[in-house]
C-alpha cells in the first residue's frame, strides 16, 4: 500500500469518531456528488482508411461528508461506458481508425480527507483532483471523459500573507488512459512547491516541480518556472489583460536522456463582461533528441483543440495564436461562442508544422444542464502531423 493511501486511512480513522458524533447536527452540510456527460466525438485524420466515431457516457457518483472538527471526507467513483466503439480506444485499438483517448472503465476517482483545522490552511490527503495554476504543468485533464487524479498530500495556505503557498507530494497518477492501459497508472515520486503573491502588475507565481517516475522514466524531470498574469481597467468595463510564463527543465531520476530545455509564453488581450480577444505566443524548446514536456498537465487547449501536437517533438514547437469569445443572448440564456487560430512551427521557426482553426458554441440550458458543440481543423505541413478534423457534441448534467 502506498504511503499516501496509508496516510489517508489514518486521517479517515481520526475523522470517524468526531464525524459520527456531529452527524445528526450537520447532515445538512453533506452532499451527494453526481454528474454525467454524454459526448459524441468524430475524427477524420490523414493516414487512416476510415473515420472514427466515439459515443461515450461518463458518470461520476460520490458523497462529500459534513465538516466536523475541520475534517471532511469525500469519496467518488467514475465510470465511462462506450456506446459506439468505431474508434481506436486506449486498450482496444481498431485497425484503420483514428484514436480517441476515451475508453471504457470503472474506477475510484477520488477518496480524500480534507482538514482545515489551522487558520487559512487546508491539507488534503488521498486520491484527489489537482489543478495547479492554469493546469499547464499539473492538472486533471478534465477534457477527457476519465479525468486524471493523484494519490497525494496537498497543503495550501495563505497564512504567510502576502504569499500563498501550495506544496504537493504524490506517488501515484491515475491517467485518462485508464488503469488497464500499460501507461494508465504512473508510480514514483512527485514534488511540487508553488508560491504566489499579488504585485502592482499582476499575480506573480513561482514553482518547482520534481518528477521521478518508476514506470515512465523518459518523463522524469525537474522543472523550475515563474509566471505573471494581470489586468488593468481601461475605461468603463473594458480591461487590458496580459500574462507571461517562463520555465526551465532538466532530466531527472532514471531518465535516459540528458537535456536542459526551456519554455516561454506570453499573451495580451482585451476583455469585457461579454467578450474577449487576445493574441499570444508559446515556445517549447527541443534539442534534437528531447523536447520540453508537461506530462502531468492538462494538455488540451494549449496547443489547439485538435490535440494533434500532444507531445513536444525533439525539434520543439512554436505556436502563434489568436483567440476570442463573445456571449450572445439566446433562448433566455447566454450562448458562448469561442474561436482560436494557431500557426505552428518548430521551436526555431524554420519549419512550418501546420495551422489550426477551432470553433465552439456552449449553452447553459438551466442550473444543471449544459450543451456544447465544438470543432477543430488542423492543416498539417509536416509528415509527423497530418491533417485532422474533429467534431464534438456534448450534453452534461451536474447535480
Residue 155 to residue 195: CA distance in whole angstroms: 12
Name which of 288, 293, 287, 284 is nearest 252 in CA terms: 293
pLDDT of residue 7: 43
Query: What residues are paired with 81 via a beta bridge?
Result: 57
- CA-to-CA distance for 293 and 220, rounded, in angstroms? 10
Residue 11, number of CB atoms within 10 A of its CB: 21
> Is residue 150 packed enough to be buried (19+ CB in 10 Å), middle (13-18) or exposed (0-12)?
buried
Let me know if 273 is exposed, middle or buried by CB neighbors in 10 A (0-12, 13-18, 19+). exposed
pLDDT value for 2: 52
* Amino acid 3: pLDDT: 45
Nearest to 134 by CA among 299, 15, 306, 12: 299
Write out residues in the chain with pLDDT < 50, as ranges.
1, 3, 5-28
| CA distance linking residue 79 with residue 103, whole number of Å | 10
Predicted local confidence at residue 15, as pLDDT: 39
Q: Please identify which residue in the block is written with the cell numbers 467534431.
A: 391
Which among 151, 136, 142 is positioned nearest to 209, based on CA atoms? 136
CA distance 205 to 309: 27
**Phi and psi for 26 in degrees, rounded to 5?**
-125, 15
DSSP 20: H
Looking at residue 29, its pLDDT comes to 76
For residue 363, what is the enclosing H or E element? strand 352-364
Would you state the cell numbers that stand for residue 109, as one nine-digit string?
Answer: 476517482
Start-end of H helices in 65-159: none
pLDDT score, position 169? 98
Burial of 329 by CB count in 10 Å (0-12 exposed, 13-18 middle, 19+ buried)? Answer: exposed
Contact predicate 244/272, CB 8 Å: no
Residue the block writes with cell 458523497:
63
Taking residue 269's Cβ as centre, other Cβ atoms within 10 Å add up to: 18
What is the H or E stretch that residue 17 is in?
helix 3-26
pLDDT recorded at residue 6: 43
Amino acid at each position: 500500500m502506498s504511503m499516501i493511501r496509508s496516510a489517508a486511512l489514518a486521517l479517515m480513522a481520526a475523522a470517524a469518531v468526531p464525524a459520527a458524533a456531529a452527524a445528526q447536527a450537520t447532515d445538512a452540510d453533506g452532499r451527494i456528488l453526481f454528474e454525467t456527460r454524454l459526448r459524441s466525438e468524430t475524427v477524420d485524420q490523414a493516414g487512416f482508411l476510415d473515420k472514427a466515431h466515439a459515443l461515450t457516457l461518463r458518470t461520476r457518483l460520490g458523497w462529500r461528508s459534513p465538516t466536523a472538527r475541520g475534517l471532511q471526507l469525500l469519496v467518488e467513483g467514475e465510470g465511462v461506458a462506450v456506446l459506439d466503439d468505431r474508434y481506436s480506444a486506449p486498450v482496444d485499438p481498431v485497425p484503420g481508425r483514428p484514436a480517441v483517448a476515451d475508453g471504457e472503465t470503472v474506477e475510484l476517482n477520488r477518496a480524500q480527507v480534507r482538514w482545515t483545522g489551522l487558520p487559512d490552511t487546508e491539507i488534503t490527503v488521498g486520491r484527489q483532483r489537482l489543478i495547479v495554476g492554469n493546469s499547464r504543468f499539473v492538472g486533471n485533464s478534465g477534457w477527457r471523459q476519465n479525468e486524471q487524479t493523484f494519490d497525494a498530500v496537498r497543503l495550501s495556505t495563505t497564512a504567510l500573507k502576502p504569499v500563498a503557498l501550495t506544496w504537493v507530494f504524490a506517488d501515484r497518477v491515475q491517467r485518462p488512459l485508464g488503469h488497464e492501459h500499460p501507461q494508465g497508472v504512473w508510480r514514483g515520486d512527485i514534488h511540487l512547491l508553488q508560491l504566489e503573491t499579488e504585485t502592482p502588475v499582476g499575480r506573480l507565481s513561482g514553482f518547482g516541480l520534481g518528477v521521478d517516475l518508476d514506470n515512465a522514466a523518459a518523463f522524469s524531470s525537474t522543472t523550475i518556472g515563474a509566471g505573471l498574469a494581470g489586468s488593468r481597467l481601461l475605461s468603463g468595463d473594458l480591461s487590458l489583460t496580459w500574462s507571461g510564463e517562463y520555465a526551465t527543465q532538466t532530466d531527472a531520476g532514471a531518465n535516459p536522456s540528458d537535456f536542459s530545455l526551456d519554455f516561454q509564453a506570453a499573451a495580451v488581450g482585451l476583455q469585457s463582461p461579454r467578450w474577449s480577444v487576445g493574441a499570444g505566443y508559446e515556445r517549447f524548446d527541443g534539442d534534437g533528441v528531447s523536447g520540453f514536456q508537461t506530462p502531468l498537465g492538462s494538455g488540451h487547449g494549449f496547443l489547439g483543440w485538435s490535440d494533434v501536437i500532444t507531445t513536444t517533438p525533439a525539434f520543439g514547437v512554436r505556436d502563434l495564436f489568436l483567440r476570442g469569445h463573445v456571449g450572445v443572448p439566446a433562448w433566455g440564456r447566454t450562448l458562448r461562442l469561442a474561436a482560436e487560430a494557431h500557426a505552428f512551427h518548430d521551436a526555431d521557426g524554420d519549419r512550418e508544422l501546420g495551422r489550426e482553426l477551432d470553433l465552439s458554441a456552449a449553452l447553459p440550458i438551466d442550473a444543471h444542464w449544459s450543451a456544447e458543440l465544438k470543432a477543430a481543423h488542423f492543416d498539417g505541413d509536416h509528415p509527423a502531423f497530418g491533417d485532422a478534423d474533429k467534431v464534438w457534441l456534448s450534453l452534461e448534467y451536474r447535480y
